C-alpha cells in the first residue's frame, strides 16, 4: 500500500486529513520532486515504519537516487539538530545557545540538490519535531533564497498532514 491507498482505509472522522492530502498532491505549489521528497522526509520524521514503506512506494517514480540520498541526509542531520536546538531554546537555567554545539553537521553543506529544496526538507522535519529555532533558521534561509511564503507554508502543511496521517494510523491499528 502507498500513502494514498492507506488513506482509503481511514474512517469518516479523518475525512479532512484525506482531503487535505489529496489537495496538496494536486495544487501544484511545489514541483513534484519537492512535494514527494517532503512527503518522504515527513513520513521518516513520524517514525512510523508502515507509513515510511507506504511513502517509499508512493514517491519512487518522482524521486531519483541522488534526491533520495539527500532526503536521508537531511533526515539524518535534522533528527539530531532539531532535538538539540529545541533543547537550547527550551532550557531556561543557562544560555546554552551561546555555547558551541560541538555537533558535526557537514551534510548541511554537502548535499547535491539545490539549497532551497534541501532547506524545505529540513523545515519539514523541524515542523514535525517542533523545534522553533530550527523552523526559524530554515525559514530565514528559504526567504533569503527568494522562496515564496506560499511554498514555505505548503512544506509545513505537507509535514502537518503527514504527521496527522501517522497519528490516525496509531488510533485505528
CATH code of residue 98? 1.20.1290.10
Q: Which three cell numbers stand for residue 137?
A: 533558521
Rounded Cα distance between 36 and 56, Å, is: 10
Structural domain range at position 53:
3-172
Instruction: Provide the pLDDT confidence category of residue 29 given band limits of 50, 70 and 90.
Output: very high
- Write the CA distances from 38 to 91, 139, 148, 152, integer angstroms: 29, 15, 16, 11
- 10 touches 2 (CB < 8 A): no
Where in the sequence numbering do the catalytic residues fall?
A: 131, 134
Number of domains into which the chain is organized: 1
**Which uninterrupted H or E stretch holds 140?**
helix 132-144
- 119 touches 76 (CB < 8 A): no
Is the pLDDT at 173 greater than 90? The verdict is no
Q: pLDDT > 70: what percent of the chain? A: 100
Rounded Cα distance between 88 and 105, Å, is: 16
Whether the full predicted model's pTM is greater than 0.75, yes or no, is yes
The torsion angles phi and psi of 35, rounded to 5 degrees, stand at -60, -55
- Please compute the mean of the pLDDT values over residues 20-26 and round it to a whole number: 97
Instruction: Provide the pLDDT confidence category of residue 70 given band limits of 50, 70 and 90.
Output: very high
For 32-57, write each residue's pLDDT tens digit. Answer: 999 999 999 999 999 999 999 999 99
Amino acid at each position: 500500500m502507498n500513502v494514498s491507498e492507506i488513506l482509503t482505509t481511514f474512517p469518516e472522522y479523518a475525512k479532512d486529513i484525506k482531503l487535505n492530502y489529496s489537495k496538496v498532491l494536486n495544487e501544484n505549489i511545489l514541483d513534484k520532486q519537492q512535494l514527494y521528497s517532503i512527503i518522504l522526509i515527513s513520513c521518516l520524521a513520524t517514525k512510523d515504519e508502515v507509513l515510511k514503506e507506504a511513502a517509499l512506494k508512493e514517491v519512487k517514480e518522482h524521486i531519483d537516487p541522488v534526491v533520495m540520498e539527500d532526503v536521508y541526509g537531511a533526515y539524518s542531520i535534522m533528527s539530531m539538530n532539531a532535538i538539540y536546538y529545541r533543547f537550547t531554546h527550551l532550557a531556561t537555567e543557562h544560555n546554552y545557545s551561546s555555547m558551541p554545539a560541538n555537533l558535526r553537521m557537514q551534510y548541511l553543506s554537502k548535499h547535491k540538490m539545490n539549497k532551497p529544496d534541501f532547506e524545505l526538507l529540513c523545515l519539514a522535519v523541524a515542523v514535525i519535531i517542533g523545534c522553533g529555532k530550527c523552523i526559524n533558521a530554515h525559514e530565514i534561509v528559504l526567504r533569503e533564497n527568494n522562496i515564496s511564503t506560499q511554498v514555505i507554508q505548503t512544506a509545513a502543511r505537507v509535514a502537518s498532514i503527514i504527521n496527522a496521517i501517522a497519528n490516525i494510523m496509531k488510533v485505528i491499528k
